[in-house]
Amino acid sequence: MRLRWLILITLVLMIWTTGTLAQPQTLTYGQPVAMTLDGSVTRFRYTFEGTADDVIYATAFIPNGQPELQVEIFGINGTSLGSALGNAMGTLVGPITLTSTGRYTLEVSQPEYNVGNTGDFTVLIDRAVLTSVKPDGRYSGTLPQAGSAVFFSYTGPANELFGYAATGQAMGLFIRQPNGEGFLQDFDYGSGEFGNPLNVLPMEGEYSAFLQTANPAGTDYTFRLTPVRVVELESGNSANGTLTSEDVQVFRFASNIDELWRIDVTGDNMQSNVRLEIRNADQLDSFVAADQSSGVNGAPRLEPFISGADGTYYIILMTGDETRTYDFTLNLAPSAAGRLDSGVAQPGTASLDTGALIYIYFGVADEVIRVTLDTTSGQPNMLIYTPVDELASFMARSTGKSTFEVTLPQTGLYTFRLVENSYTPGITLDFTLMVESIR
């Protein structure tokens, strides 16, 4: 009697831990099956006919990635061929090469922490197109429906710098390291294009990447992943180059903490079409400063750029203008920004030829300053930035005298950028700027 109870309890536990299984269904390559999680079923099983040497992938596709699902493919003999659990567009496993012809099994299940959640998902199994990425290669094609994916591989050494760019509607990019761990993911947030010009490979080996779309009608796509060539820069030096929409230019320099730099670009009629970014080598996935129009003739200029730590910094030049090529000169030099002292007036003249005039002021947290700008010609535009490059105040007006107060949010070096806002050749902004600490 005791043995019967033990067997019964064991069976109940097995059913409880493995979840409720739905009736098996048959899948066909390229034909999605819509399913619903209603809380009563936690495991779904499918079978499909596979042929030896087929390269396939399977996805339980959820447009917003919730609830999370686990997907696993089993061979003819019941051995697991691969599994995956969740990404931001659902779950994808593959590419997997089938070793023999016969009936394979696909299982979709909810992990224990996710049991009871509800939602719709789509199951899709299809042949995988796998492409080895060549340096400077450009790739394009069509993903026919939501959940469809295309696969790439890329081999590189540890610490290699690379950039990537993709176009496609409602699409995501996922890159895995040689050890199978997730490395990078990025998405189209509505513009139809996305990318990152500077990244670093954490280890040597072959990386796998796939593009997947959430667009019900599918999407055309383009993709490129290229090694980045870096030009070394030293203080007082310049570098020349040519910039197009498909090829960013990257430079590197060393700096000590709190050094002030002038980083500017000169070129013919850039008209705010060239962007300059600064990134810290220790955090390449985001920029610490950027500009697109503060220099001469709408060229980018950063002054002062204040290095937040000892280390290596990268300068990235890029353009989204697909209609022309930009010849440029990049200059790196110590900043000669004017220093503002409380109660001392600073006269100046700005024009299209000078670009923005830069002044710096050392302030303390909660200090209140009175800013007076008196202009006799031109249209002034003044921006005040905090020590962490956030906008503290903005002023744009016609010629005349303007006074306003600003409460400083933190201690550090504040940057004042003054430009002649009409951007008309021959027009000058003649001004006097004064900052007074009032409490």
Closest of 296, 245, 291, 241 to residue 268, by C-alpha: 296
pLDDT average, residue stretch 355-362: 87
pLDDT average, residue stretch 47-68: 85
Phi-psi region of 399 (alpha: psi -120 to 50; beta: other; left: phi over 0): beta
Distance (Å, whole) CA 154 – CA 259: 38
The pLDDT-based confidence of 6 (bands split at 50, 70, 90) is: very low
244 pLDDT higher than 60: yes
154 pLDDT higher than 50: yes
pLDDT given at position 88: 60
pLDDT given at position 144: 94
pLDDT given at position 23: 65
112 backbone dihedrals φ, ψ, rounded to 5°? -55, -40
Over its C-alpha atoms, the chain yields an Rg (Å, rounded) of: 29
pLDDT given at position 314: 97
Count of positions (residues) in the chain: 439
Bridge partner list, 132: 153
46 pLDDT higher than 50: yes
The region of weakest confidence among 18-22, 44-48, 104-108, 338-342 is 18-22
- What average pLDDT does the chain have? 86
In the chain the domains, ranked by start, together with CATH numbers, are: 18-126 (2.60.120.380), 130-227 (2.60.120.380), 230-334 (2.60.120.380), 338-437 (2.60.120.380)
pLDDT given at position 173: 92
424 backbone dihedrals φ, ψ, rounded to 5°? -110, 125
pLDDT tens for each residue of 73-84: 999 999 999 988
The residues, ordered by sequence, that sit 6+ positions from 409 with a Cβ below 8 Å of its Cβ are 365, 386, 392
Closest of 110, 130, 134 to residue 21, by C-alpha: 110
pLDDT tens for each residue of 166-220: 999 989 899 999 988 888 888 887 778 889 999 999 999 999 999 999 888 999 9
Closest of 311, 310, 340 to residue 417, by C-alpha: 340
pLDDT tens for each residue of 272-316: 789 999 999 998 888 988 988 888 778 898 888 888 889 999 999
Hey, what are 170's tokens? 């409602």
Bridge partner list, 90: 61, 87
pLDDT given at position 294: 80
pLDDT given at position 3: 47
Distance (Å, whole) CA 111 – CA 57: 21
423 pLDDT higher than 90: no
**Residue % of the chain over a pLDDT of 90:** 47
pLDDT given at position 9: 40
Helices and strands (H, E) in the chain, number of each type: 1, 36
Q: How many CB atoms lie within 10 A of CB 53?
A: 10
Higher-scoring residue by pLDDT: 19, 98: 98
Angle at 341 between CA 340 and CA 342, to 5 degrees: 120
Distance (Å, whole) CA 120 – CA 114: 14
Distance (Å, whole) CA 251 – CA 330: 9
The residues, ordered by sequence, that sit 6+ positions from 371 with a Cβ below 8 Å of its Cβ are 384, 393, 395, 403, 404, 405, 406, 433, 434, 435
pLDDT average, residue stretch 389-412: 86
Angle at 403 between CA 402 and CA 404, to 5 degrees: 125
92 pLDDT higher than 80: yes
pLDDT average, residue stretch 365-394: 89
Distance (Å, whole) CA 415 – CA 403: 18
Closest of 281, 325, 276, 328 to residue 305, by C-alpha: 276
pLDDT given at position 63: 62
Place of tokens 């990447």: 209
Hey, what are 139's tokens? 């790739």
65 backbone dihedrals φ, ψ, rounded to 5°? 80, 5
Closest of 92, 120, 88 to residue 106, by C-alpha: 92
pLDDT given at position 270: 80
Bridge partner list, 152: 131, 209
pLDDT given at position 89: 66
Place of tokens 């040689």: 178
Closest of 88, 325, 89, 131 to residue 224, by C-alpha: 131
Hey, what are 140's tokens? 């394009």
pLDDT given at position 41: 73
Angle at 44 between CA 38 and CA 48, to 5 degrees: 145
pLDDT given at position 5: 44
The residues, ordered by sequence, that sit 6+ positions from 219 with a Cβ below 8 Å of its Cβ are 142, 143, 168, 169, 170, 171, 213
Q: Are 331 and 302 in contact (CB under 8 A)?
A: no
pLDDT tens for each residue of 9-23: 444 334 334 456 556
Q: Reduce the DSSP state of residue 346 to 3 states and report it.
A: strand
121 pLDDT higher than 60: yes
Q: Are 438 and 405 in contact (CB under 8 A)?
A: yes
CA distances from 82 to 56, 57, 78, 93, 107 (A): 11, 10, 12, 7, 11
